[in-house]
Amino acid sequence: MTKEMNNYQYHIYPSMRCSLSCQHCFIDKSLINSKETMTEDQFKIVADKFSCHFKDSKAQFAEITIIGGEPTLIPSDFYHEVIPYLRQRFKETGKGFMVSIVTNLLHLPNLERMRGLFDLVVTSYEPARFTSANMVASIDRKKETWEKNLNIYLESGKPLSISLATTQDVIDAGTDLLDKFLDKGIRFIQLNTIVPEGRIIENEFGNEFYESHVSVRTDDLSIPLRNRKKIVIEKAKIIPDFKSEAEYLIAVTEWLYKKRMDGIDVNVYPVNSFISGVVYNHEIDDISCCINKGMNVRFDGAITGCASEIGSKNMLSYGNIYKDNVQDIANSEAKEMHSSMGSRLDKECRKCEFLSNCYGSCMLRARFWNAKGDKANCHGLKPFMEYIRNHQERLSVLLNDEH
């Protein structure tokens, strides 16, 4: 069954410029290299329209994330002007909300000047980040800076979450990587299933393939998902196969279960979301399509529902937040087409016993699934849900002891 929507996500990209060049990034390099940034007035327009949308929606809680690129490349004065305004506008809705910022933690002095504006600071990481694989200047020095800044921030006692994408290097590192962060005092870890788009496709398949992909990608989005051309990875470097991803999440769940049984206060997103979805048979927000669960806006005002669509230079936009009425954006023909075409699933998905949990999962991940091949290599992580179903009595204790 469809779970009643309680949370709605608003992602704001005031800039997409970045001080790193991560191989798994979903943002096109032309956007990363852009120096364009939202003005204070433009950000306030976003705050006005997002808060109005939230007030009129059925959702009772808003998750507002400031992200990039690297948002701390923008001077802290900008945030001291716009974040209090954003908070006031959302406070006026009478509903709950939180404001977080995602940062690579390389610009700590600027972050320190504004961290009090945010409810949560999240830093992202993967083992290959500070290696030659990311081909960015002074990578060794940046690694030292990140480790030093991480320790300084944790010593301050302020809450910090670590965000990991399920890239091949993260999966290869296993739960030892989680132990590393737990030992440092980090108690909330986010695992984001990888969505192949933007630079990750270029880095995995090469520039010629990527440019061809970009040239037709919005055309592909206008045809039913089941009729779209599949992408085959023969020798993956960055993007893991979905079976390995599911096995990794099983290992993480067992790791989390053991830690909790040992009395250790730690939480790993989205483990509980998956357990709840399978046990109570409702939609799992963290694997089903996100188009109708959030809005993402970037510096030029382009807006979409898909969290990874926002990074494409040939993006399917629902409108422009600076010019258009927010309800017109939410009800646009472009959004309706995006959602409708993405829900026209492969036959194998429609017959699956977990359809009411994943609803066909992410349409961008679906391009990499051979539905007629290895059924366990499923982009909706069916083996992980089967594992939860088979161990639900034991794993349900994690729901009774949520942190």
User: Considering the domain boundaries, does residue 273 fall inside one?
Assistant: yes
Q: Backbone phi, then psi, for 374, in 5-degree steps?
A: -75, 105
CATH number at residue 191: 3.20.20.70
Read off the pLDDT of each residue in 191-198 and give the average, rounded to a whole number: 92
Read off the pLDDT of each residue in 181-200 and give the average, rounded to a whole number: 93
Question: What local confidence, expressed as pLDDT, does residue 172 receive?
Answer: 96
pLDDT tens for 243-268 read: 999 999 999 999 999 999 999 999 99
User: Considering the domain boundaries, does residue 286 fall inside one?
Assistant: yes
User: Considering the domain boundaries, does residue 225 fall inside one?
Assistant: yes
- What residue has token string 């002095």? 109
Answer whether residue 371 shows pLDDT above 60.
Answer: yes
Residues in the chain: 403
User: Considering the domain boundaries, does residue 349 fall inside one?
Assistant: yes
pLDDT tens for 86-104 read: 999 999 999 999 999 999 9
Tell me how many domains the chain contains: 1
Pairing of strands 96-103, 120-124: parallel
Supply the mean pLDDT for the chain.
93
CB burial string 132-171: b at 16+ within 10 A, e below: ebbeeeebeebeebbeebbeebeeeeeebbbbbbbbbbbb
* % residues pLDDT > 70 (the chain): 97
Answer whether residue 402 shows pLDDT above 70.
Answer: no
pLDDT tens for 270-307 read: 999 999 999 999 999 889 999 999 999 999 999 999 99
* % residues pLDDT > 90 (the chain): 81
Answer whether residue 1 shows pLDDT above 60.
Answer: no
Closest CA to 358 of 279, 291, 274: 274
User: Considering the domain boundaries, does residue 266 fall inside one?
Assistant: yes
Closest CA to 301 of 314, 315, 319, 313: 319
Question: What local confidence, expressed as pLDDT, does residue 403 receive?
Answer: 45
Question: What local confidence, expressed as pLDDT, does residue 4 receive?
Answer: 55
User: Considering the domain boundaries, does residue 401 fall inside one?
Assistant: no
Closest CA to 193 of 290, 275, 280: 290
Question: What local confidence, expressed as pLDDT, does residue 59 receive?
Answer: 94
pLDDT band at 159 (very low <50, low <70, confident <90, very high): confident
Contact by Cβ (8 Å): 8, 296: no
| Euclidean distance between CA atoms 247 and 52, whole angstroms | 42
Task: Please tell me the least confidently modeled range out of 73-82, 195-204, 259-268.
Answer: 195-204
Answer whether residue 330 shows pLDDT above 70.
Answer: yes
Task: Please tell me the least confidently modeled range out of 28-32, 234-238, 338-342.
Answer: 234-238
User: Considering the domain boundaries, does residue 402 fall inside one?
Assistant: no
Question: What local confidence, expressed as pLDDT, does residue 234 receive?
Answer: 80
Helix, strand, or coil (residue 62): strand
8-state DSSP, 133: G
Domain containing 160 equals 7-395
User: Considering the domain boundaries, does residue 56 fall inside one?
Assistant: yes
